[in-house]
Amino acid sequence: MVTAAADTLEGAVRPAPALSTGTIDIALLGLGRVGSAVARAVLDTPSSGSARLRITGALIRYPERRRDVRLPASCLLTDAAEIFARRPRVVVEVLGGIEPARTLVRQALESGIPVVTANKSLVAAHGDELRRIAARSGAPFLCEATVIAGVPFLGTLSRRPRAAAVTCIRGIVNGTSNYLLTQMTATRTLAAALAEAARLGLSEPDPRNDVLGVDAAEKLSVLLQHLGWGRVAPHALDVRGIDGVQASDIDAARDLGGVIKPVILAERSVDAVTAFVGPAFVPLTDRLASVDGSENALALRNGYGELFYSGPGAGPQATAATVLDDVFEAATADGGRLESRSDAPRLSAIEPGAPVTAWFVRLTAAEKLPPAADIADLLGSFGIWLQRSSSLPATRQDACGFLTLPVERARLDSAIGALTAAARCHASVYRALEG
């Protein structure tokens, strides 16, 4: 068995000089979950295909670690210089995190070697810089797997200015937090939903970036770059985690014809960009409401309609397939044009502002809430108007939910502050997508 595997692999490891056209030599930076999946997919690709793929080296940190991919020892290197010395046709960066990924990607691009990455943290933080280096050297820099890993659309929009003239972005781009909120209707607590996700292997060992909205914020930042809106650091966005969501909030949303989903939202007008990442009330009539589990979805409104994309949002297999399609594009394309919008001008930094939006509010009191009419009166005195409120059974007066008409957050906060003080109740507040 080992012999057979070695036989199969021989062609995949010979350092080999100039090659017949049709063979694409790949250097893998990183051999973790995604890197191993990429390696397996390369080894499983029949060589009869249109282009043969070959891994000439894989950069690893821990040579002693056991790995479930049959790359021969001569391929596993701890020194990046040795990887580059084998002159790969394409570098695939799947290290994750900023360093050493940033330095190595820069190095490859500066030497004119195309780079494919699945690393959203890197692109969110330094995509603008890397894209400009790529444009200068003429080496493609592709990152299709960074947003909705399994659905190719970023590269497409980079090439198509009219489709990419997007003014509104709505989406669910973090499968883990979406799965957790879906599960919470059954498990009742986030902790129990997390335990279930871990048991099923659906969450990362450390799910904090998913729960706190960091992963989704990075993806929104990548999207804003790709659509040419500008540069924004993920931490500069209005980001909220799902850790404050109560199962009873989800129930209350359901009473008002909606569901709580972890969304990204961004709107662009002539002079302002507003953006938000976090749990929001999504009406059941909105197609995002039916995006469940690990599926991701994105609705992009442009000058002539709304483009809707959905599909597998993560997972080593989908990510590896997308990475290898990027490798194929990078190796066969006309270099720098890909992903470099008009020679990659420096994107301006954007300061997202506060949107005027509808809100979903849930009030809970230890004992009894004031009559609905009194609540509406108090909110009205702040200029907050209700579009819908939940009708509670007469026997239950300790909780209610309502949807406001669009209003800015500051005004809502003042009103809610006055209300919770006067009525001695607690309020959960969520942004609401328009129905």
Say if strands 407-408 and 305-312 run parallel, antiparallel, or are unpaired: unpaired
Binder of a second copy out of 43, 98, 163, 429 (CB under 8 A) = 163
Size of the site for a second copy (CB under 8 A): 43
Structure tokens at 350: 């954007």
Catalytic site residue from 120, 219, 261, 368: 219
Q: How far apart are CA 116 and CA 110, in angstroms?
A: 14
CB of 340 to a second copy, least distance (A): 11
- Distances, alpha carbon 320 to alpha carbons 41, 290, 316, 399, in Å: 7, 26, 6, 47
CB 39 within 8 A of CB 69: yes
Nearer Cβ to a second copy, position 83 or 157? Answer: 157
CB of 255 to a second copy, least distance (A): 22
Select the span of 12-20, 73-81, 148-156, 411-419 touching a second copy (CB under 8 A). Answer: 148-156
CB of 232 to a second copy, least distance (A): 22
Nearer Cβ to a second copy, position 30 or 150? Answer: 150
Binder of a second copy out of 311, 353, 411, 435 (CB under 8 A) = 311
Q: How far apart are CA 100 and CA 80, in angstroms?
A: 10
Select the span of 160-168, 245-253, 262-270, 371-379 touching a second copy (CB under 8 A). Answer: 160-168
Binder of a second copy out of 307, 365, 392, 405 (CB under 8 A) = 307
Q: How far apart are CA 333 and CA 65, in angstroms?
A: 36
Nearer Cβ to a second copy, position 238 or 326? Answer: 326
CB of 100 to a second copy, least distance (A): 28
Q: Is 310 in the site for a second copy (CB under 8 A)?
A: yes
Say if strands 76-77 and 141-142 run parallel, antiparallel, or are unpaired: unpaired
Q: How far apart are CA 83 and CA 202, in angstroms?
A: 32
By the 10 Å C-beta count (0-12 exposed, 13-18 middle, 19+ buried), 346 is classed as: exposed
Question: Cα–Cα–Cα angle for 74, 77, 78, nearest 5°?
Answer: 155
Nearer Cβ to a second copy, position 333 or 423? Answer: 333
Q: Is 304 in the site for a second copy (CB under 8 A)?
A: yes
Residues 49-78 that bind a second copy (CB under 8 A): 49-50
Instruction: Give the contact letters, 326-365, x = binds to a second copy (CB under 8 A), - = no.
Output: --xx--xxx--x---xx-----------------------
Q: How far apart are CA 177 and CA 198, in angstroms?
A: 12
Q: How far apart are CA 141 and CA 338, in angstroms?
A: 7
Instruction: Give the contact letters, 79-118, x = binds to a second copy (CB under 8 A), - = no.
Output: ----------------------------------------
Q: Helix, strand or coil for residue 348?
A: coil
Nearer Cβ to a second copy, position 60 or 321? Answer: 321
Nearer Cβ to a second copy, position 152 or 435? Answer: 152
Q: Is 162 in the site for a second copy (CB under 8 A)?
A: yes
CB 186 within 8 A of CB 286: no
Catalytic, 219? Answer: yes
Q: Is 322 in the site for a second copy (CB under 8 A)?
A: yes
Q: Which amino acid is it at 241?
A: G
Q: Helix, strand or coil for residue 137?
A: helix
Q: Helix, strand or coil for residue 355?
A: coil
Q: How far apart are CA 293 and CA 180, in angstroms?
A: 8
Please list, residue by residue across 386-424, b when 16 or more beta carbons sit within 10 angstroms of its beta carbon and e when fewer do: eebbbebeeeeeebbbbbbeebebeebeebbeebeeebe
Binder of a second copy out of 88, 114, 140, 150 (CB under 8 A) = 150
Q: How far apart are CA 382 and CA 405, in angstroms?
A: 13
Q: What residues act catalytically?
A: 219
Residues that bind a second copy (CB under 8 A): 49-50, 150-153, 155-157, 159-163, 287, 290, 297, 302-312, 315, 317-318, 321-322, 324-325, 328-329, 332-334, 337, 341-342
